[in-house]
Chain A
Amino acid sequence: MLLKHKATETAACIALVGVPAAFLGLFFVYPLVAIFHRGLGSSFPTDVLTDPATLRVVWFTVWQALVSTALTLVAGLPLVWATARVAFRGRGLVRALVVVPFVLPTVVVATAFLALLPESMQRGVVPILLAHVFFNVAVVVRVVGGYWARLDPSLWDVAATLGASPSRRFRELTLPALRPALAAASALTFLFCFTSFGVIVILGGPHFATLEVDIYDLATQSFDLRAAAALSLLQLGAVAAIVAVSSSLEARAGARMPLAVEEVAARRPRGWERPALAAILDLAALGFGLPLAALVVRSFATPAGAGLGFYRALGHETTALLVEPWRAVEYSLVYATAATAIALTLGTLAAIALVQRRSGRWLDTVVMLPLGASAVMLGYGFVIAFDTSPLDFRDAVWIIPVVQALVAAPFVVRILAPALRAIDPRLREAAAVLGASPARVRREIDVPLVLRPLGVAAGLAFAIALGEFGATVFLARSDRPTLPVAIFRFLERPGATNQGTAAALCVVLMAVTVLAVGVADRLTSRRIGL
């Protein structure tokens, strides 16, 4: 009996820790080690790391990411409240729409910002921060919103009855209760801003660079692989430290407030909530809707007047791509579906390991690292690491969803871990005492409790895979482009029809995203309000 238990335990450990570790070892650690080895040889790049120019870049990278994260939280929280707590017509749509900026290629959004901002504000820190907020509010709304919607509101009612003011309720109840989800959302946002590339290149101009920008320029323009490797090692080290700190914060915050199985029915706004809701939605429509609406308008503004010309062009042969543009929709969907499946599998195993086992702690840090790794170095790593049989994967089609899953898996972990921690152990114990087998406990308690967060994670993972550009552009075959890759190819060419077709593809990408996220929401929640 004891022996058998031990065998099952070992098998579980292999599945929970071993599978994700092996996957990350093969597809992340190994290619990076290969490219670092090629770049650095055996000498340690002390000179690069202690160069004052490097220190300046590190400082800018860190502070802009910190400020961007703080601003994103401030901008995102009202919207989280509105979509998680208040019932209004179109709430499901707002939840899905919020994810749209997140999947758009940074070059498209940055260019839209250039068109909307007054000339004096086009370059510098302000537009960079604004763009980061625009992109990452999706993370806050999805990660924190999914959590908030399942907090039992009766506590707030009690507090209100006892005379606690709204601000006191927010300070002393809401914030502490949300802390695990806030920690997770902050970590993800921070990492995205920390490795920001397209936004910095366009809105920062030549005077601003993050480590990611410097690494790209060193590797592809100056051909200085040694310095590029040194900086990306530094970047990874910083990310590892940040992740270790934030996940221990998240674990310590560890939800002592039990979550409901389903979303607690949101209620209609009353009193001051009504104008607050209106203000939040108006602001969101202005801040998020305006740049997106500009894109939609452009996609219909053909030289011959308003019409569907650019959409019709999606079905025709073009010089910008080796296939008809609409085929990119098909490839994007196939890759993103596969990537979501891989990311959910990996992320779920890693999240369970992280919550249930000591040995899962280090795995948590490793799972997060791909978010902080330089896409170009990982791409070069793939090219040199997988060139010899049996590891000759350079031509393999499945390498693309694998890479996309590396970037999506951290989101799955960050969404599931707080939800798993919040499962009240007494529920499981009670079930066991009542005679439920461990399998039945899992089926009837654990699975329903994580189904909703799993849906949130799936939607976000799918969106990330759809929008992933840095590594996909490196590995996608020319006859199988994804949507962001196709958009980029059109933007690279002059002329009205090329620019218009790019806008039409952006609108298609937006539509696909809203649909996918909406479906994931529907499938996993039985009570989504209106």
Chain B
Amino acid sequence: MSRATVVAVAAAVAIVGARAGLAASGSGTVVLVTHDSFAISKSTKAAFEKQSGLKLRTLQSGDAGAALNRALLTAGKPEGDVFFGVDNNLLSRALAGKVFDKYTPAALGQVDGYYDLDRSHHLVPIDHGDICLVYDRAWFTKHAMRPPYTFEDLLQPGYAKLTVVENPATSTPGLAFMLATVAHFGRGAAPWTYWRKLRRDVLVTNGWEEAYNAQFSGSSSHKGKRPIVVSYASDPAAEVYFAGKPLAQAPVAVVRNTCFGQVELAGVLRGARNPDGARKLVDFLLSKRFQTGIPLTMFVYPVRDKTPLPAVFKRFALPMSSPLRLSPATIGANRDAWIRKWTDTVLR
């Protein structure tokens, strides 16, 4: 390589680096740190940018756990200004890590106190959704069987080897479903007695993708063998919306008694470069505009009162009125012990 080439390459690298640095540090930008499931439409993003005069940049860093861990590692020197995606299972961990600054957006008045899990308002609720048992309607029709109605149904003779669950140690839906059984059966030995009876009948996967796309028979891609899976309450709407053709009925349905409620929260990162912009962004996440877009981009429900739901949700996936739940403090105090208990009961 000639010296001229070396100099040219070095200069190019320096310029690109400097530009990247400038773009990030300008006060005209606000950076949203979040997980892989976050989504926003172009028009909604443009609406925020126009209204605030700020450029919105999004940094997605893995699943909810991986993303929060990254925020914990960089606490005080964050990679962005706002973090979105702490759920009730991770809330106690996020608060203990001193990752967030307090901020109470005015729009919080429009949100049911039921979702306001952090009364100190380091984190405020943005959306909610449920994890439930989901089944393949066609399978049950074809086999002339009644679809499951409760947790206990899975122990009935005809239901052996029909269910796929995710490992709570490695998967958020798996963790939520384990918590659902604790919420349903109570805090004593009962949930573990249930799991001990169930262990032979369920297939355990490490992640949702394999469970839903490869092992579950009701998903639209690969045809798995098992007609019951732990997944999201919005799946019927998602399957219709993404079917690629009009459907009169959703191919999957939800076992409503098994749903565990999840709330996702957002907060201003401590040490944000653009704290003003950060507060504007949190306001926007609770605005009518963003809340209305939540169902069809992230397939969860808005927390703001009176936000209209899209037709496909009204028809196929109305929100649960009272899903099972546990307080974030209870989850925080017991989560690791329960995961160990589950692993010993189901996998050993």
Cβ-defined partner of B66 (8 Å) among A298, A376, A394, A396: A376
B79 at the interface (CB under 8 A from A): yes
Check if A319 sits within 8 Å of B41, measured CB to CB: yes
In the bound complex, residues from chain A placing their C-beta under 8 Å from that of B170 are: 201, 206, 217, 221
B23 at the interface (CB under 8 A from A): yes
In the bound complex, residues from chain B placing their C-beta under 8 Å from that of A221 are: 65, 169-170
In the bound complex, residues from chain B placing their C-beta under 8 Å from that of A205 are: 204-206
Check if A499 sits within 8 Å of B79, measured CB to CB: no
For chain B, residues 249 to 278, give those with C-beta under 8 angstroms from any C-beta of chain A.
none
A219 at the interface (CB under 8 A from B): yes
CB-CB contacts of B136-169 with A at 8 A, as 1s and 0s? Answer: 0000000000000000000000000000000101
| A436 CB to nearest B CB, Å | 21
CB-CB contacts of B53-88 with A at 8 A, as 1s and 0s? Answer: 000011111110110011011100101000000000
- What are 30 pairs between A and B in contact, CB < 8 Å? A111-B209, A111-B214, A111-B222, A201-B206, A205-B205, A206-B204, A220-B63, A221-B169, A223-B93, A303-B245, A304-B245, A319-B296, A319-B298, A320-B39, A380-B70, A384-B74, A388-B77, A395-B23, A396-B20, A398-B20, A477-B57, A477-B59, A478-B59, A494-B242, A494-B299, A495-B239, A497-B244, A498-B242, A499-B221, A500-B221
Check if B37 sits within 8 Å of A492, measured CB to CB: yes
Cβ-defined partner of B21 (8 Å) among A38, A220, A319, A395: A395
Check if A383 sits within 8 Å of B245, measured CB to CB: no
| B130 CB to nearest A CB, Å | 15
| A3 CB to nearest B CB, Å | 23
A119 at the interface (CB under 8 A from B): yes
Check if A302 sits within 8 Å of B222, measured CB to CB: no
A49 at the interface (CB under 8 A from B): no
In the bound complex, residues from chain A placing their C-beta under 8 Å from that of B74 are: 383-384, 387
Size of interface on B: residues with Cβ below 8 Å to A: 66
* Majority secondary structure of chain A interface residues (helix, strand, loop or mixed): helix
In the bound complex, residues from chain B placing their C-beta under 8 Å from that of A107 are: 209
For chain A, residues 1 to 31, give those with C-beta under 8 angstroms from any C-beta of chain B.
none
A489 at the interface (CB under 8 A from B): yes
Cβ-defined partner of A495 (8 Å) among B24, B220, B297, B347: B220
Check if B210 sits within 8 Å of A322, measured CB to CB: no
In the bound complex, residues from chain A placing their C-beta under 8 Å from that of B333 are: none
- Whole-angstrom distance between the alpha carbons of A392 and B63 in the complex? 25
- Whole-angstrom distance between the alpha carbons of A383 and B244 in the complex? 40
| B34 CB to nearest A CB, Å | 8
- Whole-angstrom distance between the alpha carbons of A497 and B241 in the complex? 9
| B108 CB to nearest A CB, Å | 26
- Whole-angstrom distance between the alpha carbons of A497 and B16 in the complex? 37
Q: If the complex has contacts A303-B244, A396-B17, are A223 and B69 also in contact, measured as CB distance less than 8 A?
A: yes
Size of interface on A: residues with Cβ below 8 Å to B: 58
| A276 CB to nearest B CB, Å | 36
Check if A474 sits within 8 Å of B62, measured CB to CB: yes
In the bound complex, residues from chain B placing their C-beta under 8 Å from that of A303 are: 220, 243-245
A114 at the interface (CB under 8 A from B): yes
In the bound complex, residues from chain A placing their C-beta under 8 Å from that of B212 are: 494
Name 10 extra pairs, CB < 8 A, besides A309-B244, A319-B39, A492-B36.
A111-B222, A205-B206, A206-B167, A206-B206, A223-B65, A223-B93, A380-B69, A383-B70, A398-B17, A494-B219
Residue ranges of A at the interface with B (Cβ–Cβ < 8 Å): 38, 107, 110-111, 114-115, 119, 201-202, 205-207, 217, 219-223, 225, 298, 302-304, 309, 317, 319-320, 322, 376, 380, 383-384, 387-388, 392-398, 473-474, 477-479, 488-489, 491-500
In the bound complex, residues from chain A placing their C-beta under 8 Å from that of B13 are: 398
In the bound complex, residues from chain B placing their C-beta under 8 Å from that of A220 are: 62-63, 65-66, 69
| A225 CB to nearest B CB, Å | 8
Check if A114 sits within 8 Å of B238, measured CB to CB: no
- Whole-angstrom distance between the alpha carbons of A395 and B231 in the complex? 34
Check if B238 sits within 8 Å of A491, measured CB to CB: no
Cβ-defined partner of B77 (8 Å) among A322, A387, A492, A496: A387
- Whole-angstrom distance between the alpha carbons of A387 and B24 in the complex? 12
Q: If the complex has contacts A206-B206, A220-B66, A220-B69, are A298 and B221 also in contact, measured as CB distance less than 8 A?
A: yes
In the bound complex, residues from chain B placing their C-beta under 8 Å from that of A202 are: 205-207, 210, 214
In the bound complex, residues from chain B placing their C-beta under 8 Å from that of A489 are: 36
Q: If the complex has contacts A319-B297, A497-B242, A498-B242, are A492 and B209 also in contact, measured as CB distance less than 8 A?
A: yes
Cβ-defined partner of B222 (8 Å) among A115, A494, A497, A498: A115
Q: Which of A110, A119, A220, A491 has the most CB of B within 10 A?
A: A220
Cβ-defined partner of B225 (8 Å) among A119, A222, A322: A119
Q: Which of B60, B239, B298 has the most CB of A within 10 A?
A: B60
User: 9 closest pairs, A vs B, by CB?
Assistant: A495-B242, A499-B221, A496-B220, A303-B244, A395-B24, A220-B66, A478-B58, A303-B245, A396-B20
- Whole-angstrom distance between the alpha carbons of A438 and B31 in the complex? 55
Residue ranges of B at the interface with A (Cβ–Cβ < 8 Å): 13, 16-17, 20-21, 23-24, 36-37, 39-42, 45, 57-63, 65-66, 69-70, 72-74, 77, 79, 93, 167, 169-170, 204-210, 212-215, 219-222, 225, 231-232, 235, 238-239, 241-245, 296-299, 336, 347
| B326 CB to nearest A CB, Å | 19
Check if A322 sits within 8 Å of B58, measured CB to CB: yes
- Whole-angstrom distance between the alpha carbons of A496 and B243 in the complex? 5
- Whole-angstrom distance between the alpha carbons of A38 and B77 in the complex? 15
In the bound complex, residues from chain A placing their C-beta under 8 Å from that of B57 are: 477-479
Check if B241 sits within 8 Å of A495, measured CB to CB: yes
Check if A491 sits within 8 Å of B60, measured CB to CB: no
Q: Which of A38, A388, A397, A478 has the most CB of B within 10 A?
A: A478
Check if A223 sits within 8 Å of B72, measured CB to CB: yes
In the bound complex, residues from chain B placing their C-beta under 8 Å from that of A396 are: 16-17, 20-21
Residue of A nearest to B18 (CB): A396
In the bound complex, residues from chain B placing their C-beta under 8 Å from that of A499 are: 213, 219-221
Residue of B nearest to A495 (CB): B242
- Whole-angstrom distance between the alpha carbons of A383 and B73 in the complex? 8
- Whole-angstrom distance between the alpha carbons of A207 and B13 in the complex? 46
In the bound complex, residues from chain B placing their C-beta under 8 Å from that of A492 are: 36-37, 208-209
Residue of A nearest to B76 (CB): A387
- Whole-angstrom distance between the alpha carbons of A317 and B206 in the complex? 30
- Whole-angstrom distance between the alpha carbons of A388 and B25 in the complex? 12
In the bound complex, residues from chain A placing their C-beta under 8 Å from that of B336 are: 222
Residue of A nearest to B251 (CB): A496
Check if A38 sits within 8 Å of B16, measured CB to CB: no
- Whole-angstrom distance between the alpha carbons of A56 and B207 in the complex? 23
In the bound complex, residues from chain B placing their C-beta under 8 Å from that of A222 are: 169, 336
| B318 CB to nearest A CB, Å | 18
- Whole-angstrom distance between the alpha carbons of A396 and B25 in the complex? 12
In the bound complex, residues from chain A placing their C-beta under 8 Å from that of B238 are: 493-495
- Whole-angstrom distance between the alpha carbons of A396 and B22 in the complex? 10
- Whole-angstrom distance between the alpha carbons of A499 and B73 in the complex? 33
In the bound complex, residues from chain B placing their C-beta under 8 Å from that of A474 are: 61-62
